[in-house]
Structure 1
């Protein structure tokens, strides 16, 4: 039966890789070739499509916006997730079980339900049409999955760690920063990787809160570029832009895929 599973995995992988390869090939053709036959190989590689996509779709500016949004949100959000996980798993205080119950309850509530209240709150605080406002929203909006993952790491550590740190005169934050965080590095790295992929591919938030085209992230920028296709039909340039947008996340995943698998597995074992 092994060959059956191998065949299924191969077909699954092919269904993922084939569209990417097809887009790459189409991005290297002319529009005339594309409309004549979408399955033919390019007669001559049109690398200029990538230059045109970079300039006409303002990819450089949107990538800088995305870098700022993703970078700050990633650092701040991961730190807050680790801090919250520590407080809810390692500290004893009245109401902790009730807070955990509310957090678990939120798993059954679709996130889209909070969209209107969040927008009203952001509008009231004058944080709409601002990348910084979007960073605040995403950083302080806790993800239950990440909280549970890090909580599983931290809950498995013996209490002697904090007790020995307290005996040595360490403060509560020093115990968290110098003892718990280093031990939780695999889980923190895993959370950071998933946060990066989620933030980089985030579309709905930037679309709703950013009205100024100069502040658009790469996802919203390519969405508006796609809307132009009904007037220009310059699909090969559009495909080139899609490939440019995909490169950072693909590189990031290739570099850290082992960390993702190791961290997720360890989290499952420790949880």
Structure 2
């Protein structure tokens, strides 16, 4: 029997609709402005484009060197995502499925790190990266992001792994399987939903990462997409070519929008994965 909607349900729907509009409206506005001329933009920022200026996107691609920035971002995000996700799965398995001394103590230390602001680690991390000659290097950024594990992802996947039946591993060990074989052939396939969820959120975090590349990269040819768009924004105080900047913003959004369209169900499930599985 369908539950009767109340006034509270209607208010919540209106609140969510208003919230959605605050997110969608700026994006739609930027898309429209990216198809106008600068003269039209400064004349009336709320008017619709009279003629679609697709050349703004070509200009943004060339003047902001977005092609090179996207290649840098692809290298940085791709390698960091592959190595980082593997280490997260490996660590989550060790901390949730294996029994060893001080396991609870290690978990406690990991949980304690949640209360430490990440900004406090910037200076020692920079000094360490500088002494190891890893600054101004995309590979250095990959090393930093790969081994600087995110506790949230570890908790998320750990909650998923803890629900898998222990009998599966015990049966495999009795059949002569090694620890690595159990991990690779049993745990990883069964944990695919959790691993995919972690990988999606990790991709979004890496793609949108600005502070790390901004601090460690000084060579313009090594900029990621976030740093390139920041530099483009800084140029606006001299050129005021806002429509080209808006076009560049839309270009940088395309990969994440495509990812969301392809994996929107997985992303929504991932928001509650730890609560449902842990």
Q: Fold conserved (TM > 0.5)?
A: yes
Query: Which position in structure 2 is the counterpart of 1:198?
Result: 205
Structure 1 unaligned spans of 5+: none
Map of 2:103 onto structure 1: 96
Residue 136 of structure 1: aligned partner: 143
Structure 1 residues 60-99: aligned runs within 5 Å = 60-99=67-106
How many residues of Structure 1 are paired with residues of Structure 2 in the alignment?
A: 271
Where does residue 245 of structure 2 map in the other structure? 238
Counterpart-to-counterpart distance in 1, 2:156 and 2:190: 14
Single out whichever of 3-12 and 211-220 deviates more from structure 2.
Answer: 3-12
Encode CA deviations 1:113-150: one digit per residue, 9 max, x unaligned. 11111111111111111101100100111111100111
The Cα of 1:229 is off from its aligned counterpart by 0.4
1:267 positional shift: 2.8
Which whole-Å deviations, capped at 9, do the CAs of 1:207-242 have from their partners, x for residues lacking one?
001110000000000000000000100000000000
User: How far apart are 1:43 and its partner, in Å?
Assistant: 1.1
TM-score, normalised to structure 2's length?
0.96
Aligned residue in 1 for 2:59? 52
* 2:193 is equivalent to residue 174 of structure 1: no
Output the CA distance in 2 between the equivalents of 1:266 and 1:122: 35
Residue pairs, 1:1-271, within 5 angstroms? 1=7, 2-271=9-278
Q: 1:269: Cα distance to partner?
A: 1.6
Q: Residue deviations 1:80-126, cap 9 Å, x none?
A: 00000000011111111111010000010000111111111111111
How far apart, in 1, do the equivalents of 2:22 and 2:239 lie?
Answer: 29
Point out where structure 2 has 5 or more consecutive residues left out of the alignment. Answer: 1-6
CA distance in 2 between partners of 1:262 and 1:194 (Å): 12
1:187–1:264: 8 Å Cα contact kept in structure 2?
no
Report the 3-state secondary structure (helix = DSSP H, G, I; strand = E; otherwise coil) of the residue aligned with 1:170: coil
> Is the CA contact (8 Å cut-off) linking 1:77 and 1:139 kept in structure 2?
yes
